[in-house]
Amino acid sequence: MTGPPEEHTPLLISSDPEIGYQRDAGHAQKVASHQAVYDRFSRGEKYRIVTLVAFTGLIPLFVSGSFVPSIPQMAIDLDSTAEVISLAVSISVLATAFGTLFWATYSGFYGRRLIYLSGLPLVFIGSLGVGSSTTVSSLMCWRVVQAFGAAGGLSLGAGVIGDIYRLEERGTAMGVFFAAVLLGPALAPVAGGLAAHYSSWRVMQYALGISGLLIFLAMYTWFPETSHPGVLGVEKLPSEEREKTGRRPVVLNPLRGLALMRSPNLAAVTFATGTALLTEYVLIVPIAATIGERYGITNEAIIGACFIPMGVGNFTGAPLAGRISDRLIIKYRAQRGGTWVPEDRLRASLIGGFFLVPLSVMACGWATVFVSGWPGLVINLVGMFVNGLGVDIVLSPVGSYTVDILHNRSAEIMAANAASRNLILSACIPMMLPLIKSVGAGWTNTIAAGAAWAGAVMLHVTIRNGEAMRKWVDVGFTTNDENN
User: What average pLDDT is seen over the chain?
Assistant: 86
In a domain, 444, yes or no: yes
Number of domains in the chain: 1
In a domain, 247, yes or no: no
Mean pLDDT of 60-88: 86
Q: Which domain holds residue 441?
A: 41-226+256-483
Residue 383 has pLDDT above 90, yes or no: yes
In a domain, 21, yes or no: no
**What pTM value is reported for the model?**
0.76
Most confident listed range (196-205, 273-282, 449-458, 467-476): 449-458
In a domain, 367, yes or no: yes
In a domain, 22, yes or no: no
Specify the pLDDT at position 239: 65
In a domain, 246, yes or no: no
CATH code, domain with 307 = 1.20.1250.20
Residue 278 has pLDDT above 70, yes or no: yes
In a domain, 406, yes or no: yes
Specify the pLDDT at position 479: 75
Residue 10 has pLDDT above 50, yes or no: no
Q: Confidence class of residue 241 from pLDDT cuts 50, 70 and 90? A: low
Specify the pLDDT at position 12: 34
Which range, of 234-243, 245-254, 347-356, 391-400, averages the lowest pLDDT? Answer: 234-243
In a domain, 119, yes or no: yes
SS3 of the chain: the string is CCCCHHHHCCCCCCCCHHHHHHHHHHHHHHHHHHHHHHHCCCHHHHHHHHHHHHHHHHHHHHHHHCCHHHHHHHHHHCCCCHHHHHHHHHHHHHHHHHHHHHHHHHHHHHCHHHHHHHHHHHHHHHHHHHHCCCCHHHHHHHHHHHHHHHCHHHHHHHHHHHHHCCHHHHHHHHHHHHHHHCCHHHHHHHHHHHHHHHCCHHHHHHHHHHHHHHHHHHHHHHCCCCCCCCCCCHHHCCHHHHHHHHHCCCCCCHHHHHHHHHCHHHHHHHHHHHHHHHHHHHHHCCCHHHHHHHCCCCCHHHHHHCCHHHHHHHHHHHHHHHHHHHHHHHHHHHHCCCCCCHHHHHHHHHHHHHHHHHHHHHHHHHHHHHCCHHHHHHHHHHHHHHHHHHHHHHHHHHHHHHHHHCHHHHHHHHHHHHHHHHHHHHHHHHHHHHHHHHHCHHHHHHHHHHHHHHHHHHHHHHHHHHHHHHHHCCCCCCCCHHHC
Q: Confidence class of residue 37 from pLDDT cuts 50, 70 and 90? A: confident
